[in-house]
Structure 1
C-alpha cells in the first residue's frame, strides 16, 4: 500500500515579525539578505543562487559552527511565487534526494502593513525524525530571520 502525501509528517510554524511583508519576503529571495539569517543558530550561509519565479530554482549551502562544521546543501524548485505574499517550493537535501519535501510560506500583513504574520508549512517529510529535526532547525532560523528583519 502506498503512503499518500496527507499521511506523511508535516509541520506548521506561525511567527509574527515586526516588519512589513515586503521586507520579510525579500529576506527569503535576495541572497545578500538571506546570508544574514539563513540556517539554525550557529550556522553560516556559504552561498546561494535564487531564481524566485514560478519554475525557477534555488540552491543554498551553509555550514555548521566550528572548524569541523558539516556543510549542508539544499535545493528546490518554486511552484508558486506571489511577491510579498507567498512562496511555495520543493525542498531537497542534495545528499538525500529520496527525501524530497515541500515548503509553503505565506506572508500576511498585520498592523496596517507594519508587521507580518509568516506561516511556514513544511510537508511530505520522510519520517517523524526528519520532521522533528526540521521543526528545531526552522524555529531557530526564524528567530534569526526576526532579528534580521527588525534590526535594520
Structure 2
C-alpha cells in the first residue's frame, strides 16, 4: 500500500476587472461563457464539460494533456448568491488518482470602473502529490483568461 498523507494550504487571489460585475459573475455561471476562459493550457484536448451553476448543482471538466494524462475536475456548488458570491467544493484527478480536494469561495464587489473578485481556495493535496506551486500558477493563468474574456470587445467572438 502506498504512503497516505495530506498537505494543507490556502490560496488567495484578488483580481480587478474593467468590466461590470454582472458580466464577471456570468462568465462563471453560464456554461457557454465559462468554456471560453476556464483552463490554463490552450493546447490540451477537451474531453467533456458540464456546468449546472446553482446551489446543489455540479460541474465537471476533463481534458487530456499533450502527453495523454487525463486531468479531471469535479465540483459541487454549495452556495450561490448571484452577483455576490459562490462557494463550491471540488476534487482534481490525474488519470484515476485523486491529487487534491478543495473548498473555494469566490466573492465579488463593484468598484469604480469595474469589479473586484476575491478567490480563496482551501486545498488538501493528497498522498505525496508534489504541487510545487502549479495550482496557484494554473489558477492565475485561468484568471488571466477570465480577464481577457470579460474585458474583451463585445463585437469580437470570445
Q: TM-score, length-normalised on structure 2?
A: 0.78
Structure ID, larger Rg: 2
2:63 equivalent in structure 1? 62
What are the within-5 Å matches in structure 2 for residues 64-143 of structure 1? 64=65, 66=66, 68=67, 70-94=69-93, 95-97=96-98, 99-111=100-112, 114-126=113-125, 129-130=130-131, 132-143=133-144
* Matches of 2:22 and 2:132, distance apart in 1: 28
1:8 is aligned to 2:8: yes
Structure 1 stretch 132-141 or stretch 38-47: which is displaced more? Answer: 38-47
* Matches of 1:116 and 1:43, distance apart in 2: 30
Structure with the higher fraction of residues in helix conformation: 1
Unaligned 5+ segments in structure 1 are none
Give me the CA root mean square deviation.
2.6
Unaligned 5+ segments in structure 2 are none
Cα 1:85–1:129 change in 2 (3 A) is farther
Structure with the higher fraction of residues in strand conformation: 2
What are the within-5 Å matches in structure 2 for residues 19-30 of structure 1? 19-30=19-30
* Matches of 2:28 and 2:43, distance apart in 1: 16
